[in-house]
Amino acid sequence: KQEVTQIPAALSVPEGENLVLNCSFTDSAIYNLQWFRQDPGKGLTSLLLIQSSQREQTSGRLNASLDKSSGRSTLYIAASQPGDSATYLCAVLSGGYQKVTFGTGTKLQVIP
C-alpha cells in the first residue's frame, strides 16, 4: 500500500526566504507526482506535475524535483511572499488503476 508523508507539518518563515518542502512515498513504482496548493476552505490548485520519467519541473518561483529510487520529492519556493501562505499537498499516482494517494500536507506561513 502506497503511503505518502510530508515533512514538516507546519513551517513559518520570514518574507524573502527560500524554502524547501518535502514529500516521501513508500512505493517507487509511481506514474506521476503532483504538488498542490490549498487555501483555507477552498479546493486544490495544481502547482506542478512531474511524470515518472522526469526529474524536475519549474514554474516561476517554484521548482519540484523527483527521485523515484529514494521515494522523495521536494518543492522549492524561491523568495517567499506572504501570498504563498497556504497548505501544500503532494499526491502520488500509482497502481494498476491509477490510484491517487495524498500526503498530509505542509502548512506554510510567510511573515511580512
Partner 1 sequence: DGGITQSPKYLFRKEGQNVTLSCEQNLNHDAMYWYRQDPGQGLRLIYYSQIVNDFQKGDIAEGYSVSREKKESFPLTVTSAQKNPTAFYLCASAHRGPAYEQYFGPGTRLTVT
Min dist. Cβ of residue 93 to partner 1 (A): 6
The answer to whether 52 and 30 are in contact (CB under 8 A) is yes
Which residue number, 51 or 81, has a Cβ lying nearer to partner 1? 51
Min dist. Cβ of residue 73 to partner 1 (A): 15
Which residue number, 28 or 54, has a Cβ lying nearer to partner 1? 54
**Footprint on this chain of partner 1 (rule: CB under 8 A):** 6, 31-32, 34, 36, 41-46, 49, 51, 89, 91, 93, 97-105
Min dist. Cβ of residue 97 to partner 1 (A): 5
Which residue number, 52 or 63, has a Cβ lying nearer to partner 1? 52
Q: Phi first, then psi: what are they for 84, rounded to 5°?
A: -80, -10
Q: Phi first, then psi: what are they for 83, rounded to 5°?
A: -70, -10
Q: Count CB-CB contacts under 10 A for residue 22.
A: 15
Q: Which DSSP state fits 54?
A: -
Q: Which residue has the cell 529514494?
A: 70
